Amino acid sequence: MTREQSALIGLLGCALRGERPEAGLLAGVDQELLYAEAGRHMVAAMTGMALEDAALPDMDAQAMERWKQAAGMGRYRRILMDREREALLGFLEEQGIWYLPLKGILLQELYPRFGMREMADNDILYDVHGREALRRFMIERGYEASSVRMEVHDDFRKPPLYHFEMHTRLFEESFDDAIFAYYEDTARLLRPDGDRRFGRHMSEEDFFLYFLAHAYRHFAREGTGLRTLTDCSLFLRAREELLDRDYLDRELQTLGLTDFAHTLCGLSRKLFERPAAGDGPTLTAEEQAMLDEVLSSGVYGTWEQKVDKALRRLQPEGGEICPGTRLRYVLRRLFPEARRMRNYNAFVQKHPWALPAAYVERIVKCAPPLWKQTLNELRLLRKAGKE
């Protein structure tokens, strides 16, 4: 762990606990590197809010102004997204389309200050039967619709910063068999809101289970950052005593997430519940390994981790990745499973015989705009998995 990463964790803990940072916290810390690290984990606003009321001797005026701007941007984004989301949910109510706000929309309410939790987008699960009506509404409001009719969600963006991911299911079929099966029938988990006719919510236990499953999806595929740990810490602080522990343990076993949840929760508590003394909290080997990976990942992980993790899934017995595994990786990237192609291609859904032509079309369409990404991925593929 670098000095800047250690300082960032300390500042995030201060922000979550509502404490002022100690005077020596930034001693010897490179301000440029600290700011970059906070941005990489999408916690610059949170860090800025920890610093904006503190008078630290190691913080120059220019750096302080940048942190204040980050905090202000967090509040600005929150105001804009809250207002736009209300218009969207109002439309869904008018159309009689049920909906379930997800993840950060709810977690942000647990943070001690408005705008503290940064979000790149708002995620909402909704009734797939309202898909076309929603698409028309969003386009009329000036959104660009991308990734429409994808396996899991449709993507809508509008300048300067509006971004909604509208989910028709919680997990894709190709991710994890146990998790996909558990969430295939999402309706059993939904409860009607008291104040909105078509609004839905989960129980506290089911919301936390979904949070853990979603965190695992990112962690297992490409990595996840410090914001996941701050989310977990605040949820446990606010809700843990109210949770049905027997139900959680049983469902985590069904999902295959018992060990992951234990490590994530333990690490989150140790990092942020109270100031660390001396050299920091004492972590188990599993917690330290998770922290190392989280720190290297950033908020959405890296391509290098994504490639390496994919190779490890193809060769679960471990060891140096063999040429056959690398070849299988290339073939899977060129020719995804048929079920994924059906979900991504409406024509193939109706006409399965067209699958071979869809593979050719996919390669021809994707090659020119993504050639830089493809070359980088091939470079990472040669490098990844070497002992």
Q: What is the pLDDT of residues 169-202, one digit of tens each?
A: 898 766 678 998 999 999 999 999 988 999 999 9
Nearest alpha-carbon partner for 365 in 355, 377, 357, 376: 357
- Give the separation between CA 80 and CA 99, rounded to whole angstroms: 20
- Give the separation between CA 113 and CA 110, rounded to whole angstroms: 9
Q: Which of 33-47, 84-98, 294-308 has the lowest mean pLDDT?
A: 294-308
Question: What separation, in Å, do the N-terminal and C-terminal C-alpha atoms of the chain show?
Answer: 21
- Give the separation between CA 1 and CA 52, rounded to whole angstroms: 25
154 by Cβ neighbours in 10 Å (0-12 / 13-18 / 19+) ranks as buried
pLDDT band with cut points at 50, 70 and 90 for residue 146: confident
pLDDT at 274 (0 to 100): 78
User: Which residues in 210-245 are b (16+ Cβ under 10 Å) and which e?
Assistant: bbbbbbbbbbbbbbbbbbbbbbbbbbbbeeeeeeee
Nearest alpha-carbon partner for 232 in 193, 282, 204, 266: 266
Q: Give residue 263's Cα distance to chain centre.
A: 18
The sign of the dihedral angle between the CA atoms of 328, 331, 336, 339 is: negative
Which residues face 156 on adjacent strands? Answer: 145, 164
- Give the separation between CA 365 and CA 281, rounded to whole angstroms: 50
- Give the separation between CA 341 and CA 151, rounded to whole angstroms: 9
Query: In the predicted model, is pLDDT for residue 60 greater than 70?
Result: yes
Q: For residue 246, give the DSSP letter.
A: H
The H or E element that residue 43 is part of is none
Q: Which of 21-25, 77-81, 236-240 has the lowest mean pLDDT?
A: 21-25
Report the helix count and the strand count for the chain, using DSSP H and E: 18, 7
Q: Give residue 310's Cα distance to chain centre.
A: 18
Nearest alpha-carbon partner for 239 in 216, 258, 265: 265
Residue pair 321/315 in contact by the 8 Å Cβ criterion = yes
pLDDT at 278 (0 to 100): 59
pLDDT at 78 (0 to 100): 96
Query: In the predicted model, is pLDDT for residue 272 greater than 70?
Result: yes
pLDDT band with cut points at 50, 70 and 90 for residue 23: confident
pLDDT at 265 (0 to 100): 97
Query: In the predicted model, is pLDDT for residue 155 greater than 80?
Result: yes
Residue pair 221/304 in contact by the 8 Å Cβ criterion = no
The predicted model gives 307-336 an average pLDDT of 73
| Distances 341 to 149, 166, 362 between C-alpha atoms, Å | 12, 20, 10
**CB-based contacts of 298, cutoff 8 Å, min separation 6:** 40, 41, 223, 225
Query: In the predicted model, is pLDDT for residue 149 greater than 60?
Result: no
- Give the separation between CA 366 and CA 371, rounded to whole angstroms: 8
- Give the separation between CA 89 and CA 97, rounded to whole angstroms: 9
